[in-house]
């Protein structure tokens, strides 16, 4: 499907489910971006979930979002259980605005929901020549190190920086071996998941996606990954006033109330300490790319390069709609 046609369709669906024009457009743009960068688990596969949550009244389609000014650099957003895309859009834009004024922007968001890809918001800051760090928590999926029960989310860590070229440095990674969305897509399509990424509810290794969803996902780097997940839970949950310690509700399965996810956006200027950041980071990347390469590697890539290549390539062609997603679209339009 043509990108323009798909956007019009998504806006129509979101509006049909109660969102206003602006919020529908923001949400459609975020979903399409996920498709274009190849993050399909955060794209159209989640559309029905968002609409279901709006209809179950656990996402507020007409939120009264409040932005509290704490200082010239710091803002606090109460998203009033809006769809996460809208809350995050306000959060990153306010962080950018604050950083442009004072050199640094710090914005906390509470009463939000799942907002898609952190990297999508990081790119907005980097385009304004800012460095950014973004944190958000998620529903229980990973067990704290030494525990038998999942409690932390896959809690992504995101960092973005200008590179002095058209391709930004964007590190956007969950603390789990693979993100939960990929397991959900695999479960829906009756596909297996890789070995070593999850345990079933009995603590046994599994490649069955459905058993993995009922069990525990494994963190990157053992106890270190568990520690990073805890760090994100503190920064985006405890600090912001959002849910934390396993209280974020699963968006697909738990309609008992809003998610109340917290987000933290940090942005700052590249010239706070040196005036030649662009030259320095160009040199940094150049040195690393010139290192001897292992067999089979043509180029040492920095985070964000592959995503940029996929985005450019996919932007030139139609977006592929799977049969399962076609059924979703048809259902949501009726």
Rounded distance, CA 233 to CA 199, Å? 22
Cross-strand bridge partners of residue 261: 112
Q: Tally the domains of the chain.
A: 1
Residue 297: inside a domain: no
Rounded distance, CA 267 to CA 146, Å? 34
Tell me: pLDDT of 247 over 90: yes
**Helical ranges in 133-222 per DSSP H:** 180-188, 209-214
Residue 287: inside a domain: no
Rounded distance, CA 16 to CA 27, Å? 13
Rounded distance, CA 226 to CA 278, Å? 34
Residue 281: inside a domain: no
Lowest-confidence pick of 8-17, 84-93, 116-125, 323-332: 323-332
In the DSSP assignment, the letter for residue 72 is: S
Rounding to the nearest 10 degrees, give the CA dihedral for residues 93, 307, 157, 163.
Answer: -70
The answer to whether the beta carbons of residues 257 and 249 sit under 8 Å apart is yes
Question: What are 80's two structure tokens?
Answer: 């009033």
Tell me: pLDDT of 148 over 90: no
49: domain CATH number? Answer: 3.30.1370.60
User: Length of the chain in residues, anyone?
Assistant: 334
| Mean pLDDT computed over 145-173 | 94
Would you call 180 helix, strand, or coil by DSSP? Answer: helix
pLDDT band for 270, please (50, 70, 90 cuts).
Answer: very high
Angle between helices 47-55 and 323-333 (to 10 degrees): 30
The answer to whether the beta carbons of residues 111 and 258 sit under 8 Å apart is yes
Residue 110: inside a domain: yes
What DSSP line would sit under 277-324, residue for residue? HHHHHHHHHHHHHTS---TT-S-PPPTTHHHHHHHHHHTTSPPP--HH
Half-sphere exposure of 51 (CA within 13 A, CB side): 22
Residue 325: inside a domain: no
**Residue 150 burial (CB count, 10 A):** 19
Would you call 167 helix, strand, or coil by DSSP? Answer: coil
Rounded distance, CA 251 to CA 259, Å? 7
Residue 244: inside a domain: yes
- 282-298 pLDDT tens trace: 999 999 999 999 999 99
pLDDT band for 167, please (50, 70, 90 cuts).
Answer: very high
**Helical ranges in the chain per DSSP H:** 3-16, 21-36, 47-55, 84-102, 118-126, 180-188, 209-214, 223-233, 277-289, 305-314, 323-333
- 294-329 pLDDT tens trace: 999 999 999 999 999 999 999 999 999 999 999 999
pTM of whole model > 0.75? yes
Residue 24: inside a domain: yes
Range of the domain at 29: 3-176+219-269
- 16-50 pLDDT tens trace: 999 999 999 999 999 999 999 999 999 999 999 99
Please, is 97 exposed, middle or buried when counting C-beta atoms within 10 Å of its C-beta (0-12, 13-18, 19+)?
middle
Dihedral angle sign, alpha carbons of residues 135, 141, 144, 150: positive
Residue 181: inside a domain: no
The answer to whether the beta carbons of residues 200 and 212 sit under 8 Å apart is yes
């Amino acid at each position: 499907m043509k990108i323009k046609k798909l956007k019009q369709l998504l806006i129509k669906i979101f509006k049909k489910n109660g969102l206003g024009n602006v919020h529908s457009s923001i949400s459609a743009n975020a979903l399409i971006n996920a498709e274009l960068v190849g993050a399909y688990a955060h794209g159209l596969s989640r559309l029905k979930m968002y609409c279901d949550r709006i209809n179950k009244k656990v996402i507020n389609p007409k939120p009264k979002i409040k932005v509290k000014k704490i200082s010239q650099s710091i803002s606090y957003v109460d998203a009033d259980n809006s769809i996460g895309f809208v809350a995050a859009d306000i959060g990153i834009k306010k962080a950018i605005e604050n950083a442009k004024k004072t050199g640094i922007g710090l914005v906390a968001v509470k009463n939000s929901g799942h907002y898609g890809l952190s990297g999508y918001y990081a790119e907005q800051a980097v385009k304004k020549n800012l460095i950014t760090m973004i944190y958000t928590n998620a529903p229980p999926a990973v067990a704290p190190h030494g525990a038998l029960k999942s409690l932390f989310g896959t809690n992504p860590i995101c960092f973005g920086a200008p590179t002095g070229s058209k391709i930004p440095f964007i590190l956007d990674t969950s603390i789990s071996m693979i993100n939960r969305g990929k397991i959900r897509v695999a479960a829906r399509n009756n596909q297996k998941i890789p070995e070593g990424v999850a345990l079933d509810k009995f603590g046994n290794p599994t490649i069955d996606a459905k058993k993995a969803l009922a069990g525990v996902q494994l963190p990157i780097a053992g106890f270190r990954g568990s520690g990073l997940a805890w760090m994100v839970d503190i920064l985006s949950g405890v600090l912001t006033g959002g849910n934390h310690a396993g209280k974020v509700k699963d968006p697909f399965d738990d309609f008992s109330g809003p998610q109340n996810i917290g987000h933290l956006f940090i942005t700052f200027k590249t010239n706070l300490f040196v005036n030649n950041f662009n030259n320095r980071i160009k040199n940094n990347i150049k040195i690393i790319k010139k290192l001897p390469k292992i067999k089979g590697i043509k180029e040492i890539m920095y985070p964000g390069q592959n995503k940029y290549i996929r985005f450019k390539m996919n932007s030139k062609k139609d977006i592929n709609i799977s049969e399962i997603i076609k059924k979703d679209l048809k259902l949501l339009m009726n």
